[in-house]
Structure 1
Amino acid sequence: MKVWISFDMEGVAGIVDWEQCRPGSGVPYALGCALLQDEVNAAIEGALAGGATEIVLNDSHSTMANLDPRKIAGNAQYISGRHKPMYMMQGLDASFDAIFFVGYHGSISGPPSTLSHTYNPEVISGARVNGQYVGESGINALVAHHFGVPIALVTGDSVLHEETRPFAPDAVEVVTKESITRFSAKNLHPAVSCAAIRAGAELAMRRVGEGAVATPQISSPAALDLDFQTADMAEVATWARGAVRTSDREVRIEGENFLNIFESFVAVNYITRQAGGR
């Protein structure tokens, strides 16, 4: 079985500060990367134990080069680097049997979640799929739906799981931390978190093999509504294909082709940086 893993960083146990996630911050970032590498490797090891024969990793955080490739477990392939056409979902196609979301976090529009944001915290203040507020996991589920690949494992804080469950009701959920505020959490010990992820990944693969994990169910045509920090950002967003302004600070992308919706969203994410985002 082929497994595709998208991993972020803010949902990793022990990470509670932007400095731990920001390349160039020195010691804090080095620690964050070490914690991340261990959790990603735990997911790989569990997937292999559960029957995976091929694993592809897509680095989905910041500069998207956060792992030491020499230390990646299981000979997994590693997609890294910036300006990917499919961003957090680069490399996924219909040939895969399962999707893992590792180290994911809650949305900017939801309850307090450690380091919460939705793609770009300086640009997007909220996102909705068919009227339901979502985080990055919900937006990314559009691509999973398009290719018909089930989301089998999700790891991160409990807020993340509440937001992802409507799109991945059969996924194995591993809670790595309980968020207290946006900048604090009660974290599992890293060794405990990794053990839970390893066991969860193995269980997820066994469930996939049994046909017990359904693909994301999203009604079609789908509408992705985006709330922006400023009207200027919303205006710039309409330069992307299919993006239509619905109010001063809101833009909608809709259609029956979920991949096209996501591609337009990625374009929005890139071009709105020119209107004040990073």
Structure 2
Amino acid sequence: MDQCIKCPEDQYANAEQNHCLYKDVTFLAFGDPLGMTLSCVALGLSAFTILVLGIFVKHQDTPIVKANNLTLSYILLISLIFCFLCSLLFIGHPNSVTCILQQITYGVLFTVAVSTVLAKTVTVVWAFKVTTPGRRMKWFLVSGVPNYIIPICTIIQIILCAIWLGTSPPSVDIDSHSEHGHIIIVCNKGSVTAFYSVLGYLGSLALGSFTVAFLARNLPDTFNEAKFLTFSMLLFCSVWVTFLPVYHSTKGKVMVAVEVFSILASSAGLLGCIFVPKCYIILVRPGRNSLQKVEVLYLSLICN
């Protein structure tokens, strides 16, 4: 007791308090059961999204694909593929590069995906509202004006991310005190204000898409995907609203796993709600994938 020595930061005292042991380094690794499970889910969902994209490409001349804006569908599917894959950045030993790429990549990719849903929703509303007799705004659809929503929304998010990187970017954080005998390596968000600004902007886009789709939910059912868009945005918002309290109540690799799960769940919600019903009709119920020639031509003109 006269020669008591405190253990270094990377070590802790044994039970007898007479020797220092090295702490175990902890992070969400690919070899961990949790990390391996999340990795397999991410790869499986991305492969499934590629399969859905292939189905849409193969059946691109069918009415149900044409009537739901082929270009926007392609953009949304490709962005979802990268959304699933970007979750892999959160798994493995954190470093300065991956810490920056984690937040910026998923922020921009999800902005592209949600803004595409917003563009699809606006297209559905205009297709059934402004093209009715007496309206002269059909050129908005023919000229592809709703498609400009995607680059505009994405540029705003990129500016927010650039401000984040310029003020206080994410970095590696080493926590040697939260868990006894462990050194936790995670990515620090850097500027908390910038992080919530990026997340809040994404949430506002999702809320806007949900609002527009909800108002259009009772439009004619023929090839109207407003109901699917409404449910997808409701699921998306629910996942991220649940994410915030759970995220702040966990630590270490469990906290990272919660963020990865939220990314996968929200992306899977968009994929399942918007595209799975269409693939079901294309593959299982092809008889429903037909309309009279006049209706097909009309929907093709206003949605492509």
TM-score tier, shorter chain, comes to under 0.3
| Structure with larger Rg | 2
Structure richer in helix, relative to its length = 2
- Relative contact order higher in (CA < 8 Å, ≥ 6 apart): 2
TM-score by length of 1: 0.24
